[in-house]
Amino acid sequence: MFPLNDAAFCLVPAVGLSEKVLVFPYETDFSFVALVPQKEMALRAFTLCMRVATELPEERQIILFAYRTADYDELNVWREKDGRVSFYLSGDGVFFRLPPLSTFRTSLCLTWESRSGLAAFWADGRRSTYQVYKPGHSVRPKGTVLLGQDPDKHLGGLEATQSFVGEMTDVNMWDSVLSRSMIQAWHYGHKVPKGNIFDWASLEYELSGNVLVVDDD
């Protein structure tokens, strides 16, 4: 089900990452975390949130979230080589200028809904300008979700120069657009409804390669 290459690793199913952080210590073409969604990812709206920190320079492209079905990158989130943050739904992407990702943790959320196509990023509780992107589109189910790598095909094609290096935690996803107050509450660590696609506290995941799970202290 998950990408394989010649590097030695094992997949160990686990559940729940409450108060834990994923550490991707260095650039590889084999380290990733595969996430198992709690429901089918047939989406016409979503909110995706995570907290990230990286020392990688701005001119280095970084994959932040990758969801691919057999033929398409259904939902990919990137920091581009020019420092902009972007996401792609089965084709050309949409780009946003946000405060730069850095060694200090950034709370990053992405919202999109099909009916209007309205899309926005939220950085530390502040919303970007809206952009209209792919109104009427639907995200298709039955794919693979990875943190740390971008699969160029459904069962592999990983590239070290796109891999995530740094820390990632609190990855949550809902099949609706959360309100401003909910996103800001999440940013400040207040209680919000659990993600019904991914909930960090009860997340089913599998580690591959050199990814560390450490206490969030």
Question: Tens of pLDDT along 23-81?
Answer: 999 999 999 999 999 999 999 999 999 999 999 988 899 999 999 998 889 999 999 99
pTM of the entire structure? 0.92
d(CA 177, CA 46): 5
Task: Round to the nearest angstrom and report the end-to-end CA distance of the chain.
Answer: 33
Q: Does residue 126 sit in helix, strand or coil?
A: strand
pLDDT at site 158: 85
Average pLDDT over residues 71-93: 94
DSSP structure class, residue 160? G
CATH number for the domain running over 20-215: 2.60.120.200
- How many CA atoms lie less than 13 Å away from 195 in the CB half-sphere? 26
Domain edges within the chain: 20-215
Q: What is the pLDDT of residues 171-200, one digit of tens each?
A: 999 999 999 999 999 999 999 999 999 999
Bridge-based pairing state of the strands 166-174 and 45-53: antiparallel
d(CA 189, CA 186): 5
